Amino acid sequence: MMKIGVMSFAHMHAYSYAACLNDLPKATLPAVWDDDPKRGKAAAKRFDAAYFSDLHRFLYSGLDGVIVCSENVKHRKMVEAAAKAGLWILCEKPLAVTVADARAMIAACKKAGVGLGTAFPCRFAPTLIEVHDRVRAGELGEIYAASCTNNGKFPGGWFADEKQAGGGATMDHTVHVADALRWITGKEFVKVYCEKGRLLGRDTNSDDVGSVHMEMDGGTIVSHVASWNRAKSFPTWGDVTIELIGEKGVLHVDAFSQKLDVYCDKTMRHEWASWGGNADMGLVRDFVEAVRARHAPSVTGEDGLRAVEVTEAAYRSAETGKMVSVRA
């Protein structure tokens, strides 16, 4: 039985990961740490775990691994502390707010001899797994272009503060697609151009929409919308879509569109009810297995770093008004 703790419930994905831990037969969630006691105690109660306010006591409470879901800017400190305690780590995306932080985290885990994974659940979505497999089997031939979106509703809270999130919608909603494209095509990003702004009146001190253009090695061209552009009244949280233009054909995927339309008079709302695969469960199961086998999770810290390189380049591009190299 692998004992996995959750470090901070600042990111809402922590609740889904915690539920997965409780559902997995080979894992338990014995301990929760949070620097917000109220939030931490409530989460501990909900998932039947012990709450720790002291980080050291939490890290040395007999855990095998931790899932880090703090505010983005705290990822580095959390990961470094957990690595020092010899724990396997799954870190929420983006891995870090800067390339320098991401590199330091990877180095710390390497030094401590612990596995570091980045939480990219898209890699465990059955829809995107099929896209990956069909592209890798050569069904589309060479991929020439990709047009993507990761739209969402405005998350508010610390996401709206670039001091805690490291950026805005472009920071929040570029990494999933960047990682998915690397995984699907096997190519790396080389150049990035970005136009972004606070254009939708969201209550943030950063951008609420970014239009990102990228180039991958071999010349594949990519466009992407990273946004908090979904209306509050939109029937779902957002989307991940990718259109691939290949030599042998075109593929369009709307990764989370396996849904029912729910029209409810009690709430006067129209919402989507998902019936598709549970990508979070795949992600957490993979992590638990990595902890047990003492090897790195399938989606590594390096994968997280590659995506952070893209977001950092996007912000650098927006600042300079130029297309910039990913490896500065």
Nearer to other proteins, 252 or 295 (CB): 252
Q: Decide: helix, strand or coil at residue 110.
A: helix
Between CA 240 and CA 242, with CA 241 as vertex, the angle to 5 degrees is 130
Nearer to other proteins, 294 or 322 (CB): 322
Which stretches of the chain are assigned E, i.e. beta strand?
Answer: 2-7, 27-28, 31-33, 50-52, 65-68, 88-92, 116-119, 143-153, 189-197, 209-216, 221-230, 238-246, 250-254, 259-264, 269-274, 324-325
Residue type, 74: K
Could you tell me which of 188, 190, 159 has the C-alpha nearest to residue 173? Answer: 159
Minimum distance of other proteins from residue 210's CB (angstroms)? 8
Minimum distance of other proteins from residue 84's CB (angstroms)? 43
Minimum distance of other proteins from residue 144's CB (angstroms)? 6
Minimum distance of other proteins from residue 181's CB (angstroms)? 14
Nearer to other proteins, 112 or 245 (CB): 245
Nearer to other proteins, 71 or 215 (CB): 215
Minimum distance of other proteins from residue 166's CB (angstroms)? 21
Q: Decide: helix, strand or coil at residue 117.
A: strand
Residue with tokens 């570091």: 116
- What's the rounded Cα separation, in Å, for the pair 123 and 191? 23
Q: Which residues here bind other proteins, judged by CB under 8 A? A: 144-145, 147, 149, 191, 193, 195-197, 199-201, 208-209, 211, 213, 215, 221-223, 225, 227, 229-231, 233-234, 243, 245, 247, 249-250, 321-323
Nearer to other proteins, 87 or 209 (CB): 209
